Amino acid sequence: MTRKLPRFLLATVFVISVTALAQTANADPGLPAAPSAAASTPDATAVGASSKIGTINIEQAIFASNEGQRDFEALSKKLEPKQTELKSMNDEVESLKKQLSNQGDKLNDDSRATLVKQVEDKQKKLERSVQDARDDAQAQQNEIAQRILQKMAPIIVKYAGDKGFGLIMDTSNPWPQGPVLWAGPSVDITKAIVDAYNLQSGVAAPTRPATKPATTGAKSTAPAGGTKPATTTTPAPK
């Protein structure tokens, strides 16, 4: 089941003029140098003065690329054991809660208190484990996205320059979270950039559609027997 790529991958809005992106690419030692103006873009003054605006869904472009599909699929498989571990922990907590609910009024005070404490301790451990797993997954997803974006940026520069765009705006976040209220398909360059990136990367298309790494979800539950309500974080269904 395909899941939406978390927004933390690209938290900042990608609204970049062609010349600004070219300068950033050349200035950042960690970013592959953008193609030279002579080889890839018209005169910088002409490009900067252009009023032609294009859009790109960076999030979609990253994941739709052959490299993105390959790497996110590999990450999804890598995270499967952790998902299984979290499910097992959650099942144990739910089993103890059921036991407390069914037997709580039959236990003496000491036995009941011990069971309540066990439920709370295991639930807290589950919540910490889920948060750690979520943070780790986010970090790894972000690393993949940033690595691909660094290599994709010069391609965007070249394409935008060749086509005479003065501004490229990201539509990953819909309005009003994102800057674009509406844009027609004629100005969207996402597919063109993905095709150009695939050609340059040389990464073969996947044999089957990739599934995005699952993130953990949460639901609110409370231990039975009058204990303080707590939030149990559980792994999302695969």
In-domain check, residue 2: no
What is residue 210's predicted lDDT score, i.e. its pLDDT?
55
Taking the CA atoms of the chain, what radius of gyration do you get in angstroms? Answer: 24
Given a contact cutoff of 8 angstroms between Cβ atoms, the answer to whether 217 and 236 are in contact is yes
Residues of the chain with pLDDT under 70: 1-50, 208-238
What is residue 154's predicted lDDT score, i.e. its pLDDT?
95
What is residue 29's predicted lDDT score, i.e. its pLDDT?
44
In-domain check, residue 1: no
In-domain check, residue 111: yes
State how many domains the chain has.
Answer: 1
Half-sphere CA count of 145, side-chain side, radius 13 A: 22
DSSP 185: G
Distance of CA 218 to the CA centre of its chain: 17
What is residue 230's predicted lDDT score, i.e. its pLDDT?
36
Longest dimension (CA), the chain: 84
Task: Report strand pairing: 217-221 vs 53-56.
Answer: unpaired
In-domain check, residue 234: no
Locus of tokens 């295991």: 122
In-domain check, residue 237: no
What is d(CA 22, CA 37) in angstroms, rounded to the nearest whole number?
9
The full DSSP string for 94-150 is: HHHHHHHHHHGGGS-HHHHHHHHHHHHHHHHHHHHHHHHHHHHHHHHHHHHHHHHHH
What is residue 219's predicted lDDT score, i.e. its pLDDT?
43
In-domain check, residue 177: yes
pTM for this entry: 0.67
The full DSSP string for 64-93 is: HSHHHHHHHHHHHHHHHHHHHHHHHHHHHH
What is residue 50's predicted lDDT score, i.e. its pLDDT?
66
Range of the domain at 222: 7-227
In-domain check, residue 93: yes
Residue type, 81: P
In-domain check, residue 51: yes
Handedness of CA 132, 134, 140, 145 (dihedral sign): negative
**Burial environment of residue 174 by CB neighbours within 10 A (0 to 12, 13 to 18, 19 or more):** exposed
What is residue 24's predicted lDDT score, i.e. its pLDDT?
47
What is d(CA 161, CA 44) in angstroms, rounded to the nearest whole number?
9
